Amino acid sequence: MTSLAILEPDAEVLSRRDQLIRGLRGLLPADCIIADEDGRRAFETDALTAYKQMPLAAVLPTTTDEVSRVLRYCHENKIKVIARGAGTSLCGGALPSEDSIVLGVSKMNRVLDIDYMNRTAQVQTGITNIGISNMVSPNGFFYAPDPSSQLACTLAGNLAMNSGGAHCLKYGVTTNNVLGLKMVMMDGEIIEIGGQELDAAGYDLLGLIIGSEGQFGVITEATVRILRAAEGARPMLMGFDSSEAAGECVAAIIGSGIIPVAIEFMDKPAIRVCEEFAKAGYPLDVEALLIIEVEGSEDEIETLLTRISDIAKPFKPQGIRVSQSEAESKAIWLGRKSAFGAIGRISDYYCMDGTIPLGKLPEVLVEIGEICARYKLNVANIFHAGDGNLHPLILYNANDPAEVERAEKCGAEVLELCVKAGGCLTGEHGVGVEKRELMLTQFSRTDLEQQMRIKTVFDPDWLLNPEKVFPLELHTS
């Protein structure tokens, strides 16, 4: 994994900045260009704050045509471009380099069209994730992917990382909820892929581009699916005396053929911190907690909750509580959605993101605990249990260099464990800078070289979000 260190700027590279700013000012309004040091500092990192690097400048275009002009200029002058949504990436995906500009889409946040008959919405990609649902909820619709950062994260970042969220168990991740894209290539060409149809003709380029981490082009507009909200939904809390029992219960529920809207997992350290923050009524005398939500008519909800309770009985659940009101449901989800922030109140943490086959969940949870204990670090587990997307939070002191190094090595072992168990290095946070050197753990050199050739087709000069995803040694080999 990349060392958790602050990168130092290169004075020679920065000397080009004045010329660059003059060029950009000929392309965009002055209020769309950020060139001063204080302003640029806001773009020096993303949510993986262990990495920092000041860009040459930041630009905030408001239209696809403005994005096209900026990219064409940068292409002609061989300037690297880092696309950015809200900067909530947890893998360093929006980390700039000293010789790059940041192109942010946060000003491109309009809803362009809503088609309730065909259940689609066309939006600019700077809109927040929850902003889409907020626009259509008065008419009984919603946008399904719901990352924990949905209040802040943009659709642009969700597209880059193929984000999921608590409810992706039933409704799928970003790629399952997008029908069309407008993307600007590095040379300024504007292309459209897909449309409003459920299955566009030709190659599945949407499947290739969504999750490509901003390395193929800058996506400025998207046509997304909106879904009719269910008649009702209700979460239940179910405590267990061990993480293994909770993991076995999850596997049994999914194995029965029941697909709840969500199954979320918290272990004891996470339960305590989240309850102190949200006052959601989580049981504090259990080792692990599942939040299980089902939806439908009232009769369907009651039937599903009863069946799930019966399936759970062999695993001796305790502290079972079913939400009895909308306010109670909101409190339960507030605790889960606020989990990362709640943990951040008590400690620095390193948020991992790996996936595993669901049947391996009990044994992997045990091994994660053993790995962290070996490095003398505490861990809080909070994750999407229903689809095996793990988010162990490794707690450490960011001001202690030795502890930082231990956290990094510990995290690498956790991700290697996920791959060994038959899973992969990332579920929804992406590879970015954080995991690029681990890619050879999952892929062969031949696999990665083929992926790099695809990147080169879209971006021959490697100017879009370079030095991400692929191990640095492959760039020079």
Which residues, including other chains, have CB under 8 Å from residue 144's CB and lie 6 or more apart? 167, 168, 171, 172, 177, 225, 227
- Looking only at the bridges linking them, the beta strands covering 178-184 and 190-194 are antiparallel
33-38: Cβ within 8 A, 24+ apart: 33/57, 33/58, 33/59, 33/60, 34/58, 34/59, 34/60
Residue 233, beta-bridge partner list: 295
The answer to whether the CB of 255 falls within 8 A of the CB of 315 is no
pLDDT at 11: 57
Hey, what CATH topology would domain 111-228 get? 3.30.465
> Is CATH 3.30.43.10 correct for 11-104?
yes
- CB 159 within 8 Å of CB 147: no
Task: Please indicate whether the domains covering 233-340 and 347-420 agree at the CATH topology level.
Answer: yes
For 220, the 3-state DSSP assignment is: strand
Q: Check residue 342 and give its pLDDT.
A: 86
Fold of 233-340: Alpha-Beta Plaits (3.30.70)
Distance in angstroms (rounded) separating the CA atoms of residues 20 and 77 = 9
pLDDT of 306 reads: 95
From the list 264, 384, 241, the residue with the least C-alpha distance to 315 is 241
pLDDT of residue 289: 95
Distances from the Cα of 191 to the Cα of 65, 176, 205, 445, 468, angstroms? 12, 21, 12, 31, 24
Residue 43's H or E segment, with its range, is none
Provide the pLDDT for residue 131: 97
CATH number of 347-420: 3.30.70.2740
DSSP structure string for 16-41? THHHHHHHHHTTS-GGGEE-SHHHHH
Question: In this predicted structure, what is the pLDDT of residue 6?
Answer: 47
Which positions ≥6 away from 212 have C-beta within 8 Å? 160
Give the domain ranges of the chain: 11-104, 111-228, 233-340, 347-420, 436-476
- Residue 105 contacts residue 61 (beta carbons within 8 Å): yes
* Separation of alpha carbons 312 and 446, rounded Å: 45
CA distance 256 to 360: 16
Q: What does the pLDDT profile of the chain (477 residues) look like in tens digits?
A: 555 444 555 555 556 788 899 999 999 999 999 999 999 999 999 998 888 999 999 999 999 999 999 999 999 999 999 999 999 999 999 999 999 999 999 999 999 999 999 999 999 999 999 999 999 999 999 999 999 889 999 999 999 999 998 889 999 999 999 999 999 999 999 999 998 877 777 888 999 999 999 999 999 999 999 999 999 999 999 999 998 999 999 999 999 999 999 999 999 999 999 998 888 889 999 999 999 999 999 999 999 999 999 999 999 998 789 999 988 898 889 888 888 888 888 899 999 999 999 889 888 989 999 999 999 999 999 888 888 899 999 999 989 999 999 999 999 999 999 999 999 999 899 999 999 999 999 999 999 999 999 999 999 999 999 999 999 999 765
The structure tokens listed for 280 are 């959601």
SS3 1: coil
- Record the pTM: 0.92
Q: Is residue 293 classed as helix, strand or coil in its secondary structure?
A: strand
CB 342 within 8 A of CB 276: yes
